[in-house]
Amino acid sequence: MSDCCAKQTPVGGALDMTPYIAAVRAHTATGSTPPRCFVLTFGCQQNVADSEKLAGMVEEMGYEITATAEEADLILVNTCAIREHAEQKALSVVGQYKHLKEKNPALIIGICGCMVAQEHRRTELKKSYPYVSFTLCTSVIYRLPQYLAEVIANGKRIMRGEEEHTVAEGAPIRRESTYRASVSIMYGCNNFCSYCIVPYVRGRERSREPAAVIAEVRDLVAKGYKDITLLGQNVNSYGRDRADGYAFPQLLADLDRIEGDYTLHFMTSHPKDATRELVDVMAASRHVAHSFHLPLQAGSDRILKLMNRHYDRAKYLDILDYMREKMPDIAVTSDIIVAFPSETEEEFDQTLQMLRRARFDMIYSFIYSPRKGTPAAEMEGQVPHDVAAARMTRLLALQNDIADAQNAKLVGKTVRVLSEGQSKNDAAVYTGRTDQNKIVFFAEPVPEGEWVMVKIERAAAFALYGTKNENKGD
């Protein structure tokens, strides 16, 4: 396994970046126009949030953000390591940048994110991608000015692993949207699900100070943000590293007290830690959306045990049923892994049974991908790809029917939608999302970032179709 996670510095133990920022600024101010930076992001919402920080920092250092790699003077690739495919995609893109570096020898290429926290990937980049200038791990992204200043000053490559795991506050954020934002409330994961690389590449759980989170959300609401998602690998363990017992339900309740016209989402929750107290806070809140992402992963108790998930089917259904009892309109989504090592046909059928019972509004499903250094990668009974693919096809077909039926229940109802403006595929159609994150299409022009009440007339598995309805909801 990689050498990351070896050290941890206390929360807030960040290094002062001011001199490095000044050094890079002196460099970027030399030309007649500002140099340009292209940021490419792979992976989850946490990575998207990290990229917004990377972009905020480079802007602060005098770069202009550009939408294409071809015209960039600095390229930052924010990588994902969750499955092999994600890593291969990132490596292939980095491979394509070789000719850009040949055309422009001054181009700086930095590889950030989860992939480079693994030593074997850094070694590979060092050997086979000599035009890459530096690697920067997720828990030290605040050090970007330092790395950049060093590369600019002496041209040496910096292929370092993670030096510490800290919570660095105050990095500038360049938000992609003016109405939808995510706020990291904690970093890292302690769970070590046996298939998962995240605890190795993102380190142990560190919670941000409640006051810092509350101030950030308050600021977003004041700026007019309508939809705010709290992010963490397992938000339910927020605060466990604190001595005062302040936990996620308290944070959610405190955030809900902020006055304004906004909705709160959060992800991800671990079923072993999702509590009735949390559900009660949601049900009593004014701003928390009735939407819950609760990864099941598998429907067999034996497989759940092998996955090191610390819950069984009964426990999962218990909290799910409680949610539906307290919030009948709640949309529940989930993650499913197909073909975990040694999963039998019967055990896979148990996953299908759980889908029929749980009736998720949507699932993200993945074929198991062995991750170097995780326990599952060494387990007996790795499932052949053709078997896994056949199971995935059955899973998707079943879920399609379930999502279809779930969405059909909304036909005739009027729901609140946050407009995302004109559809990318058809300028005559507008699109947006409900509080439950369901995609809605409607004909009436509603500027992006504004709420609109839409009466649903037709439903499909992945989208709803309707008409603006001024006469409120039901």
Residues that bind ligand SF4 (CB under 6 A): 189, 191-193, 196, 198-199, 233-234, 270
In terms of CB distance, is 294 or 332 closer to ligand SF4? 294
Pick from 121, 114, 66, 119: nearest CA to 91: 121
Q: Which residues contact 426 (CB under 8 A, 6 or more apart)?
A: none
Q: What angle do CA 90, 91, 93 make, to 5 degrees?
A: 65
Total residues at the site for ligand 5AD (CB under 6 A)? 12
Q: Which does 184 bind (CB under 5 to 8 A by kind): ligand 5AD, ligand SF4, none?
A: none
Report the distance separating Cα 79 and Cα 46, nearest Å: 11
In terms of CB distance, is 74 or 231 closer to ligand SF4? 231
Does 368 help bind ligand 5AD (rule: CB under 6 A)? Answer: yes
**Element housing 305 (H / E):** helix 301-306
In terms of CB distance, is 63 or 187 closer to ligand 5AD? 187
Residue 303 region by backbone torsions, left for phi larger than 0, else alpha for psi between -120 and 50, else beta = alpha
Pick from 452, 350, 443: nearest CA to 395: 350
Residue 224 region by backbone torsions, left for phi larger than 0, else alpha for psi between -120 and 50, else beta = left
CB of residue 146 to ligand 5AD, shortest distance in Å: 30
Helix (H, G, I), strand (E, B) or coil at 466: strand
CB of residue 426 to ligand SF4, shortest distance in Å: 36
Binding map of ligand 5AD across residues 68-97, x = CB under 6 A, - = no contact = --------------xx--------------
Quick one: which segment of 86-94, 104-112, 361-369, 381-389 binds ligand 5AD (CB under 6 A)? 361-369
Quick one: which segment of 65-73, 97-105, 364-372, 419-427 binds ligand 5AD (CB under 6 A)? 364-372
CB atoms inside a 10 Å sphere around CB 323: 21
Does 297 help bind ligand 5AD (rule: CB under 6 A)? Answer: yes
CB of residue 276 to ligand SF4, shortest distance in Å: 20
Q: Which does 229 bind (CB under 5 to 8 A by kind): ligand 5AD, ligand SF4, none?
A: none
Q: Which of 36, 165, 293, 371 binds ligand 5AD (CB under 6 A)?
A: 371
Pick from 395, 401, 387: nearest CA to 337: 395
CB of residue 368 to ligand 5AD, shortest distance in Å: 5
Q: Which of residues 301-340 bind ligand 5AD (CB under 6 A)?
A: 335, 337
Q: Is beta strand 430-434 parallel, antiparallel or unpaired with respect to 439-442?
A: antiparallel
Does 115 help bind ligand 5AD (rule: CB under 6 A)? Answer: no
CB of residue 198 to ligand SF4, shortest distance in Å: 4
Report the distance separating Cα 315 and Cα 313, nearest Å: 6
How is residue 43 written in tokens? 């992976």
DSSP 286: S
DSSP 138: G
CB of residue 5 to ligand SF4, shortest distance in Å: 13
Q: Which of 187, 195, 311, 360 binds ligand 5AD (CB under 6 A)?
A: 195
Report the distance separating Cα 304 and Cα 191, nearest Å: 13
Residue nearest to ligand 5AD (CB): 335
Report the distance separating Cα 365 and Cα 350, nearest Å: 15
CB of residue 230 to ligand 5AD, shortest distance in Å: 16
Quick one: which segment of 50-58, 362-370, 392-400, 455-463 binds ligand 5AD (CB under 6 A)? 362-370
Pick from 239, 347, 243, 241: nearest CA to 300: 347
CB of residue 225 to ligand SF4, shortest distance in Å: 26
Amino acid residing at 268: T
Contacts to ligand 5AD by CB under 6 A: 82-83, 195-196, 295, 297, 335, 337, 366, 368-369, 371
